[in-house]
Amino acid sequence: MIVLDVAVPVPLNKTFYYLPPKCVDPKNIIGKRVKVPFGKRILTGYAITCLYLEEDPSLKLKHIVEVIDDEVLINNETIELADYISKNYICSLGEAYSSIIPISMQPPKKISKKTKDVLELSYKRYHLNAQQRKAVSTISMNLDKNYYSVFLVHGVTASGKTEVYINAMEHALNHNKNAIMLIPEISLTPQFMDIMTKRFGSKIGVWHSGITNVEKYKLFHKTKTEEVKIILGTRSAIFAPFKKLGVIIIDEEHEHTYKQEQKPFYDAREIAKWKGKYHNAVVIFGSATPSLETYRDAQEKKICLIELSERVDKKELPEVKIISLKERLFKTSLLLPETIDSISKTLARKEQIIVFLNRRGYSPVIMCKKCNTVYQCSKCSISMTFHRNPDLAKCHYCGEIKHLPLVCSVCKTIGVTVFGIGTQKVEYELKGLFKNAKIFRLDGDAVSSVKKTYATAYTGVKNEEYDILLGTQMITKGFDFPRVSLVCIIDADTSLYLPGFKSAERTFQLITQAAGRSGRGDIKGSAIVQTSNPMHYAIEHAKNHDFVSFYNIEIEQRKRMFYPPYCDIAKIVVRNKNEQKVDEDSESLFTFLKALNDSYDVGLKLLGPAPAYIAKLNNTYRRYIIIKGERKKILHFVKFLKDFKQPSGTFVGVEIMPSDLL
């Protein structure tokens, strides 16, 4: 009998046999998505191949319910990439396929046929400075040779990295190759589309979570048939199925958003290198504040370093002024007098301002006035955040929303107080101080319609419809507004206090990137940083835009503490809805792993078990075990987790090279 071998996205690292639907040729199913019965559910799977088996009455195989796709979606590259993801990120083949070819993609009623119009590229030539010309020449030379290579373009903010990217894409297209460009945030899509359509016309496709399932399917089809030549998008755009890939660009490569935070925990930067090797393509990482791991690779000549050390047209980097928040003691204003004065003068000159605070909501803490009990989320071990208009308490982790408590649950006192600052509170104060200023707030709460909100923010600030752009970290990267001459960072310490080994690195990156939004046009820029830690090395070196000095200090800290890039890391998470059980089971698992490590002399370092930074999330308690060592050894070691008898109600998962250990 003929059966189909189907990969199903469930955490079982095996494929499953199904019978083809009646009256359907099995060979016409291979490489397509299919609906299959799995237990009591109907799931979407991926038909990899068909096999011939001897008739066996004991085999009670089920039929495929439906063939979803008319066209074949899986090719040899897909198969090899799924295998790579499965082995390197500890997931099943089905889960790997679901990353490459989304389950959610929905075929339209009719796929448009490939158009035969000729690709017309109306490039507007831009003047390149000497450093840009050298960068383009080096990259183009490797493109000409069809030679896999990885570059780090380390350029200060506004040094013209985008122009280098565009020239690399132009060169690839002239060689009849295609290009993928990844950006870290959806908010940057309108800006980059504006730039790229002026240079490449309509042959650009945009891929991110804001497009519909039908749009995804159409774009997947157009990419396969090369109706689009360039894909621009966020993390998952790396899987665009181009047959002839010439260049992959990852802008702001240091951003943690390139790491998938749900299973499978793939890293788009590593996938880019894999695809680069597969296609003999050039991979370009770009950043003013590269990750320590990437910069160390460049220092050790594992990848090629290209430096853009000055801004285009020799514009000055913004002057950064550090102001201690200790001056704010016993004052009600969120903005220090010097910050208020700078905003006032900037508005008087008809120039624009970006105000950054990496905390949304109005106030992050709701507390009883009498006994100081903090109002926490009932499902998570984290305080609820107060939001205004309407007045509500929200959990930013599980999404729970409640009305403000009228009576304290502990002392029964009527009334609560709120303290701490969020973007809503900053907006409220800005509107009070600068009544005529037009303000646009861009954060997770303000985004009701992804496409519409981001486009409104970009076009509104660009066309000078707004004087002040206020928001969280989504406004600190990539935005290029020529009339922004002042950036205000309200509290630079938000990320510095987090108990993670990347806290100092992220603080340096956030300040440098935020400050870099200023002075990008003909107006001289400046930035104000309010902080309680003015002497911290991350803040001191960000003040001077000095990545190398920061790197030299931080890399020594990593070496001393044995953290990446001096080792690889795996994070094992143990979850259970019962707190006592999660403690017991995580201790048992740690004992099991330690005995294994000792008996086989693997040489890995184990830490834990310890509660997660948010120990309870959505009614589930979480404990972490950290493994440090060589990646090859870690991947081999965690395979033994299957020998650990997983207790009922306890879930054990593994994330390879997590973006943080919180």
pTM: 0.93
User: Average of pLDDT values for 238-265?
Assistant: 95
CATH number of the domain at 568-656, out of 3.30.70.600, 3.20.20.70, 3.40.50.10680, 3.30.470.20?
Answer: 3.30.70.600
Same fold, 130-312 and 568-656: no
Q: Greater confidence, 445 or 433?
A: 433
Please compute the mean of the pLDDT values over residues 210-216 and round it to a whole number. 91
Q: Please, are residues 135 and 187 in contact by the beta-carbon 8 Å criterion? A: no
Give the model's pLDDT for residue 119. 46
pLDDT at 118: 43
The pLDDT score that the predictor gives to residue 53 is 86
CB burial string 421-441: b at 16+ within 10 A, e below:
bbbbbbbebbeeebeebebbb
Top pLDDT among 114 and 470 is at 470
Looking at the chain, the whole-number percentage of residues with pLDDT higher than 70 is 95
Residue 572 per-residue DSSP state: E
Ramachandran region, residue 282 (left: φ > 0; alpha: ψ -120 to 50; beta: rest) = beta
Mean of the pLDDT values across residues 632-644?
91
Q: What is the mean pLDDT of residues 282-296?
A: 98
| Contact predicate 620/605, CB 8 Å | no
Q: What's residue 296's pLDDT? A: 98
610 pLDDT more than 70 = yes
H or E element in which residue 41 lies: strand 41-52
What's the whole-number average pLDDT of the chain? 91
pLDDT band at 129 (very low <50, low <70, confident <90, very high): very high
Apex CA 659: angle with CA 155 and CA 600, to 5°?
125
Convert the pLDDT of each residue in 101-118 to its tens digit.
Answer: 999 999 887 755 555 444
- Which CATH number is associated with domain 130-312? 3.40.50.300
pLDDT in tens, 343-388: 999 999 999 999 999 887 777 788 887 888 888 888 998 888 888 8
| CATH code of domain 2-100 | 3.40.1440.60
Query: Quick check: 335 and 341 in contact, CB under 8 A?
Result: no
Single-letter code of the amino acid located at 496? L
Whether residue 123 is predicted with pLDDT greater than 70 in this model: the reply is no
Tokens representing 481 are 């507004």
Q: 315-361+421-560 has which fold?
A: Rossmann fold (3.40.50)
Q: What is the DSSP string of 472-528?
A: SGGGSSS---TTEEEEEES-TTTTTTSSSTTHHHHHHHHHHHHHTTSS-SSS--EEE
Expressed in angstroms, the distance from the first to the final Cα of the chain is 51
Amino acid at 310: E
Tell me if 46 sits within 8 A of 81, measured CB to CB.
no
Rounded Cα distance, 574 and 612, in Å? 10
Helix (H) or strand (E) holding 634: helix 631-638
| Domain segments of the chain as ranges | 2-100, 130-312, 315-361+421-560, 568-656
Q: Mean pLDDT over residues 397-415, rounded?
A: 85
Q: What gap in Å lies between CA 509 and CA 291, rounded to an integer?
A: 9
Q: pLDDT tens-digit profile of 178-201?
A: 999 999 998 889 899 999 999 998
Mean pLDDT of 506-528: 95
